[in-house]
Chains A and B, each alone.
Chain A
Amino acid sequence: DAGVTQSPTHLIKTRGQQVTLRCSPKSGHDTVSWYQQALGQGPQFIFQYYEEEERQRGNFPDRFSGHQFPNYSSELNVNALLLGDSALYLCASSLVAGLYGYTFGSGTRLTVV
């Protein structure tokens, strides 16, 4: 079992561009959550997807959107990138929301220049 897989591992984008990050959950997990981790900070919750719907959302603008597919994989989209969006984006998968705990991926390092 490869656990949670995220792609790409690193990404450089220009201010104003759009980006899509991808996540494959751990086998058997049906819920995917996304977190943003800025340098020197703990991960901040962006949103969670369960049964292909956004179940919960943190304090992030509408520029951040997501999607969950029938195979439980998920995408995080960020539009109109700002320099402040530079961060490590973590995907965490779980079963039945977070009832049994979360498994994290290695993350995608996004740099906005």
Chain B
Amino acid sequence: AQRVTQPEKLLSVFKGAPVELKCNYSYSGSPELFWYVQYSRQRLQLLLRHISRESIKGFTADLNKGETSFHLKKPFAQEEDSAMYYCALSRPDFGNEKLTFGTGTRLTIIP
């Protein structure tokens, strides 16, 4: 069975400082990894998917298969980055039929 672990429930970072939200996964096959974000009073929305290799709102994430990690990073935090962040995994071999989420990290940017 697949599992996603986000070790930090809460993370506070000063504005302008680097941000790293940790995500580790366990899955025997080749997963697809995602970061979803939920801003205050808004719906869950896709931030990044690893196959896209994009940088969205200054965030990047690299899939490290050796360490089974998909950490989310941003070099300079902004106040608007304060939100709830969820790491999620799907299984392309099973048609990406569902997302398995971690428990989430609440990021607070201190002005």
Chain A interface residues toward B at CB < 8 A? 3-4, 33, 35, 40-45, 48, 55-56, 58, 90, 92, 97-99, 101-102, 104-107
Contact = CB atoms under 8 A, between A and B. Distances in A.
B11 interface: no
A42 B86 contact: yes
Contacts, number: 57
Interface residues of B, number: 24
15 contacts: A3-B43, A35-B99, A40-B9, A42-B6, A42-B86, A42-B103, A42-B104, A43-B99, A48-B97, A98-B96, A98-B99, A101-B34, A102-B99, A104-B43, A107-B43
B103 A56 contact: no
A98 to B, nearest CB: 3
Contacts of B4: 42
